[in-house]
């Protein structure tokens, strides 16, 4: 049985041992937030032609957008800290040592988790206090600027927690640090990448299409695409409260998921690419579909005028190369290529179907014309080619 005192000592030792990371992060965040805030205010005050209202607008802009830059720094820090804090899961000797200690998995996870997140929360709160002191000392803690500052501080903490929790989930599903890192990247960027590819197919295959999503889908979109926090939060100059609350709830859900994955993670998974074999077919198919659709369209878009045969040639080659690379990453051996060839076949068929739907407008998307009384709204996209034509005239 482990006493609370010994557990607290264990957590304290963990934090002290990793203190150099937080010292470096504190210096970076201090420079990025209160230090540059003070420097920018002094620079604005040197401009004698700037009115106080203009100066306040510039300070407000800095507080909103520069804290967005701080959020990006914290996102990178979250991935690095999570990988560092839970790095022992990628070393068999360390796993055996930790799991043989008289500490339950629940307490070990909570201690490790707090070791990574609490110091960062404190760093952001301290930087927020320094920034508030700068604004108060300069006489600009007015017109809601202080509120913007603390909302931005809250958002930056949520950004860190979101990326931290996503990375932990990736760690719990993988057996080595390289796959864990790319797993984090996949969790965060797969949906945006797939969306980008689909938009390119819309633009290339259809004469009529829309890029913007309906506002009513904003909350759902924020949930399926965590990176969206940089748009729904004040770092973009706008604040979508409902979508932000949805992301906060999602962040908490990710923390709970990470905890349960930690509890069931087998110790023998250390050194493997993925902890569970059932995940491998899903990952293979999703990555192969994205790779085939993306690279074939990219080559076809760059080389305009080429026959469609070239599109399908690139489609097949990219699929085969990506399949071989994934097989090597997962199995560290090319000899099992034929064993999982059905997964390549499934991905090829799925990607080909998606491509053909766009190429032949299978759902009559581009050819559909509504009746006059059915038109609700119209949007027009003016391309650079049109602008050049107008300029020439």
Q: Which helix (H) or strand (E) holds 53?
A: helix 52-85
Better-scored residue on pLDDT, 275 or 117: 117
Percent of the chain predicted with pLDDT > 90? 20
Q: Which residue has the higher pLDDT, 60 or 114?
A: 114
**Domain for residue 15, yes or no?**
yes
Is 37 domain-assigned?
Answer: yes
**For 154-182, what is the mean pLDDT?**
90
Predicted pLDDT of residue 215: 43
Name the 3-class secondary structure at 174.
Answer: strand
Q: Which residue has the higher pLDDT, 331 or 85?
A: 85
pLDDT tens string 215-250: 444 555 555 566 666 665 554 455 667 777 888 888
- pLDDT for 235 equals 47
DSSP assignment string, 90-141: G-HHHHHHHHHSSS-HHHHHHHHHHHHHHHHHHHHHHHHHHHHHHHHHHT--
The whole domain housing 110 covers 4-269
> What average pLDDT does the segment 57-73 reach?
77
The band of 1, judged by pLDDT with boundaries at 50, 70 and 90, is very low
On whether residue 313 sits in a domain, the answer given is no
Instruction: Write down the pTM of the prediction.
Output: 0.81
| 85: exposed, middle or buried (Cβ count in 10 Å: 0-12, 13-18, 19+) | buried
Tokens of 66: 């520069």
In a domain, 250, yes or no: yes
In a domain, 68, yes or no: yes
pLDDT at 8 over 50: yes
Structurally, the chain folds into a number of domains equal to 1
pLDDT of residue 216: 45
Confidence band for 351, pLDDT divided at 50, 70 and 90: very high
Q: What would the 3-class secondary structure string for 232-284 be?
A: HCHHHCCCCHHHHHHHHHHHHHHHHHHHHHHHHCCHHHCCCCECCCCHHHHHH
Mean pLDDT of 254-265: 91
Determine, yes or no, domain membership for 72.
yes
Chain mean pLDDT for the chain: 80
Residue at 230 is within a domain: yes
Question: Is 378 contained in some domain?
Answer: no
**Mean pLDDT for the stretch of residues 86-107:** 79
């Amino acid at each position: 049985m482990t006493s609370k005192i010994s557990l607290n000592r264990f957590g304290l030792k963990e934090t002290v041992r990793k203190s150099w990371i937080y010292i470096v992060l504190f210096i970076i965040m201090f420079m990025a937030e209160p230090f540059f805030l003070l420097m920018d205010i002094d620079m604005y005050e040197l401009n004698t032609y700037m009115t106080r209202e203009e100066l306040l607008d510039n300070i407000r802009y800095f507080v909103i957008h520069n804290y967005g830059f701080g959020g990006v720094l914290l996102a990178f820090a979250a991935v690095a800290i999570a990988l560092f804090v839970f790095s022992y899961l990628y070393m068999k000797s360390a796993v055996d040592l930790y799991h043989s200690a008289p500490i339950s998995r629940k307490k070990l996870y909570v201690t490790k988790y707090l070791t990574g997140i609490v110091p960062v929360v404190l760093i952001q709160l301290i930087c927020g206090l320094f920034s508030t002191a700068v604004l108060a000392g300069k006489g600009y803690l007015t017109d809601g600027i202080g509120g913007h500052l603390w909302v931005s501080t809250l958002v930056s903490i949520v950004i860190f927690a979101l990326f931290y929790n996503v990375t932990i989930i990736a760690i719990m599903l993988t057996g080595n640090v390289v796959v864990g890192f790319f797993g984090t990247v996949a969790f965060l960027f797969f949906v945006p990448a797939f969306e980008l590819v689909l938009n390119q197919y819309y633009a290339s295959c259809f004469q009529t299409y829309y890029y913007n999503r309906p506002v009513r889908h904003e909350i759902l979109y924020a949930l399926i695409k965590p990176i969206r926090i940089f748009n729904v939060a004040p770092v973009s100059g706008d604040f979508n409260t409902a979508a932000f609350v949805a992301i906060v709830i999602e962040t908490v859900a990710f923390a709970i998921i990470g905890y349960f994955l930690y509890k069931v993670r087998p110790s023998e998974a250390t050194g493997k690419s993925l902890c569970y074999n059932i995940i491998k077919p899903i990952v293979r198919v999703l990555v192969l579909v994205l790779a085939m659709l993306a690279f074939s369209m990219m080559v076809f878009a760059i080389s305009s005028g080429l026959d469609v045969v070239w599109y399908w040639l690139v489609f097949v080659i990219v699929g085969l190369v990506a399949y071989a690379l994934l097989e090597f990453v997962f199995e560290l051996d090319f000899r099992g290529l034929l064993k999982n060839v059905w997964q390549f076949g499934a991905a090829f068929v799925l990607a080909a179907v998606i491509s053909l739907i766009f190429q032949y407008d299978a759902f009559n998307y581009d050819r559909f014309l509504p009746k006059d009384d059915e038109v609700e709204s119209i949007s027009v996209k003016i391309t650079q080619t049109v602008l050049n034509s107008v300029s020439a005239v």
